[in-house]
Structure 1
Amino acid sequence: MTTSSSIFDCGERLMDGTILIYGATGYTGKLIAKAAVERGVRPILAGRNIEKVTAVAEPLGLVGRAFDLGAAAILDAALKDVSVVLCVAGPFSATARPMAEACIRNRVHYLDITGEIDVFEAMALRDAEAKRQCVMLLPGVGFDVVPSDCLAAHLKRRLPDASDLKLCISLGDDMSRGTAKTMIEAIAAGTRMRRGGRLVAPDRAEAGSCDFGEGERATFRVSWGDVATAFHSTGIPNIEVHFEATSAVEAFVRMPRLVKSFLGLGFMQSFLKARVDHMPEGPGEAARRDGRAILVGVARNDKGGSVRSRLRTPEGYALTAATALDAAQRVAAGDVKPGFQTPSLAFGADYILSFEGVTREDVNA
């Protein structure tokens, strides 16, 4: 690992190593908190409701803390003894901005597990501000986007003059309540991609296909965090992401634009999110243990050259618990690059290979 020399300039405060996990009462937050204790890490657990925080923290022997994100003074006080915030409270459209602002003010490093394109872009715009404060902004340290971002960086390394990048992901239908609410917020935005370096939202989600290792499977283009992060990591101007066409994905992408616009209205958003609260909290232990995800990336250049690589990982939520905790530990230990970063920019294209159960192959090496 490469430790930034600016840590010394930024003072000892950023070196004491205390990690605060905000959103620890949610499905993914509890997974990360449990993983932390198993690895001998003692984070502060936090959320909005002290009773819920205490119910998670006490059985793990951890300290709990409750605060809302609405008041700057309260946030500043809550972060006074913290080196790293790992925000796992979504939707991040509501939580990322106030928490990141507080981290910048208080010179605390900020990490989250967002997959929201607008959040990534907003964080990138704060790069200079974060650098002035010697603060690292590292959103997307979960399944979205650690494996896909590292895959994109690997493909760029294989084909330095790549102009087009296509990522295909197969991961199944199971999701947590937080992920479902994030998807609901994204309904009205349409399916986004990057063309000529700019984010665009075509009227229709393109169908395609991908060989995940057992022959061609149908896919649909979706809005995924790499439309933002892979551009910042690689500079490739044309980027799109496809999911394997499971029933849930197909139902979402084939929804008429008028219906999506209606579902984007405030009262419909509230209704749909209330329905989500009746869903199971997230995949069970067996599903996390036995599940797998496959990512395939193809990069092309303007000369007709192309490279293809395939990445196999553990189930998405299991991997998120591992990558988010590891990233927070690395940053708490001083592995820091101030400013906006992506996982591959922070830790390298091969970072994902450091996790158990992850393999990568270059299909056309």
Structure 2
Amino acid sequence: MKTKVLVYGANGYTGELITRFAKDFGIEPIVAGRTEATVVEVAHRYNLPYHVFSLDDTEALVNALKHVAVVIHAAGPFHYTAKQMVEACIATGTHYIDINGDTSVFEFIKRYDAKAKAANVMLLPGSGFDVVPTDCLAYSLKEQMPDATHIEIAFLPRGGGGVSHGTATTMASKAGEGGCVRENGSIKRTPLGHKGKWISVNGKKIFAMSIPWGDISTAYTSTAIPNIITYTAMKPSVYRVLKFQFLFNWLLRMGWIRNIIQNKINKRSTGPSDEQRKNGKTYVWAQVSNAKGETKTAAIQTNDGYTVTYEAALIIARKILNGYCKPGYQTPAACYGASLIFELSGTKELQ
């Protein structure tokens, strides 16, 4: 029986957090990535074994996974890296989880459902802040209103120090591509921020705008609710500017513009400090409605996104090691229930 966990991308900001705290969850991971100097540095810092290989080296990738029970894939952008890792996991009988939040990547990995079932492998992307809290809230509301036809979901960060280098890189690679919603079961392209609204949560009114969060894919898989819009907090002044982004999306998609954005990202710190993470919180809000016009609303507070990510990924990896998993493509709440989010520290229900 395979019992090892490999963290690929352990030398990145979020991968390092997963590696650093793994022993608190009873896991001693194998450190892995493609850049030898930083992989070795992380491995030596935590006295862990390591592998150095590129995902494009199929032989090295398969050899690294042969004796591994679970991969925590933390090396994005996932629209460049998911295919290689998913196929290697299926080939070696290794369960796959990742910290992806890209709707298109969820839809892509879902195509491997039949192959994963045949190999008795679970594929569970979105095992971090993208999309565990939102998926659990959506699943809970669907249980309360089985005939729901519409759901709106929002995550509203309150501090936390901003995004990591990897997240920023993913965002840069998607610059100018707009947003999306789900209408009548199908994903529909929309301008980024095509809709804005004020949301009342925890005694505060927070403005939010629509974005293409991963729940456009995962909430549909978890709940079968056919109409989904996702939001994040945004200053109204910024939202008003973004309403005109469609006029220059063609420019943002130009390679040289994306390179300029990426160069600026490369000059920043890799991610928020421990103190910034400690002080960060996120409100997660959702509302469902049915054909009768009835509604149900729920909200929770979680720790900052990066703390949620490393805790959720490690809790799910531990469940898999204990034999608690399902073959094929899965979503967090559909596999582990709406209560999964309450297994993480700092989660509480809001009125």
TM range (shorter): over 0.9
Structure 1 residue 73 displacement after superposition: 1.6
1:187, 1:261 within 8 Å by CA — same for their partners in 2? no
2:25, 2:318 within 8 Å by CA — same for their partners in 1? no
Structure 1 residue 168 displacement after superposition: 1.6
**Counterpart-to-counterpart distance in 2, 1:106 and 1:265:** 39
1:37, 1:60 within 8 Å by CA — same for their partners in 2? no
Structure 1 residue 107 displacement after superposition: 1.0
**Counterpart-to-counterpart distance in 1, 2:235 and 2:13:** 23
Structure 1 residue 255 displacement after superposition: 5.0
Unaligned runs of 5+ in 2: none
Structure 1 residue 187 displacement after superposition: 2.3
Structure 1 residue 154 displacement after superposition: 0.3
> Of residues 149, 152, 158 in structure 2, which corresponds to 1:163?
149
**Structure 1 pair 346–249 and aligned structure 2 pair: CA distance change class (3 A):** farther
**Counterpart-to-counterpart distance in 2, 1:251 and 1:268:** 22
> Of residues 257, 264, 282 in structure 2, which corresponds to 1:293?
282
Query: What SS does structure 2 have at the residue aligned with 1:189?
Result: coil
**Counterpart-to-counterpart distance in 2, 1:309 and 1:82:** 39
Which residue of structure 2 lines up, in the alignment, with residue 282 of structure 1? 271
Structure 1 segments of 4 or more deviating over 4 A? Answer: none
1:17, 1:333 within 8 Å by CA — same for their partners in 2? no
Which residue of structure 1 lines up, in the alignment, with residue 249 of structure 2? 260
Which residue of structure 2 lines up, in the alignment, with residue 179 of structure 1? 167
Deviations 1:5-58 (A, max 9, x none): xxxxxxx4xxx2210000000010111111113344210010001221110011
1:43-122 matched pairs, under 5 angstroms: 43-122=29-108
2:8, 2:32 within 8 Å by CA — same for their partners in 1? yes
Query: What SS does structure 2 have at the residue aligned with 1:74?
Result: helix
Deviations 1:190-239 (A, max 9, x none): 11110011111224621111012223222111110111100000000000
**Counterpart-to-counterpart distance in 2, 1:54 and 1:264:** 36
Structure 1 residue 188 displacement after superposition: 2.6
Which residue of structure 1 lines up, in the alignment, with residue 306 of structure 2? 317
Which residue of structure 1 lines up, in the alignment, with residue 15 of structure 2? 29
> Of residues 217, 223, 241 in structure 2, which corresponds to 1:228?
217
Query: What SS does structure 1 have at the residue aligned with 2:130?
Result: coil
**Counterpart-to-counterpart distance in 2, 1:38 and 1:314:** 17
Partner amino acid, structure 1, of 2:182: R
Unaligned runs of 5+ in 1: 1-11
Partner amino acid, structure 1, of 2:55: L
1:222, 1:253 within 8 Å by CA — same for their partners in 2? no
> Of residues 340, 343, 346 in structure 1, which corresponds to 2:335?
346
**Structure 1 pair 31–247 and aligned structure 2 pair: CA distance change class (3 A):** farther
Structure 1 residue 63 displacement after superposition: 0.6
Which residue of structure 2 lines up, in the alignment, with residue 124 of structure 1? 110
Partner amino acid, structure 2, of 1:110: Y
Q: Superposition RMSD on alpha carbons, in Å? A: 1.7
Query: What SS does structure 1 have at the residue aligned with 2:287?
Result: strand
Question: What is the TM-score when the length of structure 2 is the normalising length?
Answer: 0.95
1:46, 1:65 within 8 Å by CA — same for their partners in 2? yes
Query: What SS does structure 2 have at the residue aligned with 1:115?
Result: coil
> Of residues 295, 307, 329 in structure 2, which corresponds to 1:306?
295
Partner amino acid, structure 2, of 1:200: K
Partner amino acid, structure 1, of 2:305: G
Question: What is the TM-score when the length of structure 1 is the normalising length?
Answer: 0.91
**Counterpart-to-counterpart distance in 2, 1:213 and 1:230:** 24
Query: What SS does structure 1 have at the residue aligned with 2:148?
Result: coil
Farther-moved stretch of structure 1 (295-304 vs 251-260): 251-260
**Counterpart-to-counterpart distance in 2, 1:104 and 1:129:** 7
**Structure 1 pair 246–324 and aligned structure 2 pair: CA distance change class (3 A):** farther
Query: What SS does structure 2 have at the residue aligned with 1:240?
Result: strand
> Of residues 234, 243, 247 in structure 1, which corresponds to 2:232?
243
2:153, 2:230 within 8 Å by CA — same for their partners in 1? yes
1:27, 1:282 within 8 Å by CA — same for their partners in 2? yes
**Counterpart-to-counterpart distance in 2, 1:248 and 1:64:** 47
> Of residues 333, 337, 343 in structure 1, which corresponds to 2:322?
333
1:147 matched to 2:136? The reply is no
Identity across aligned pairs (percent)?
35
Partner amino acid, structure 1, of 2:278: R
> Of residues 175, 178, 182 in structure 2, which corresponds to 1:194?
182
Q: How many equivalent residue pairs? A: 348
Query: What SS does structure 1 have at the residue aligned with 2:239?
Result: helix
Query: What SS does structure 2 have at the residue aligned with 1:300?
Result: strand
**Counterpart-to-counterpart distance in 2, 1:266 and 1:208:** 33
Structure 1 residue 325 displacement after superposition: 1.1
**Counterpart-to-counterpart distance in 1, 2:238 and 2:98:** 24
Which residue of structure 2 lines up, in the alignment, with residue 7 of structure 1? none
**Counterpart-to-counterpart distance in 2, 1:284 and 1:100:** 31
1:243, 1:249 within 8 Å by CA — same for their partners in 2? no
**Counterpart-to-counterpart distance in 2, 1:274 and 1:246:** 26
Structure 1 residue 267 displacement after superposition: 2.6
**Counterpart-to-counterpart distance in 2, 1:279 and 1:175:** 10
2:175, 2:258 within 8 Å by CA — same for their partners in 1? no
Q: Which has the higher strand share?
A: 2
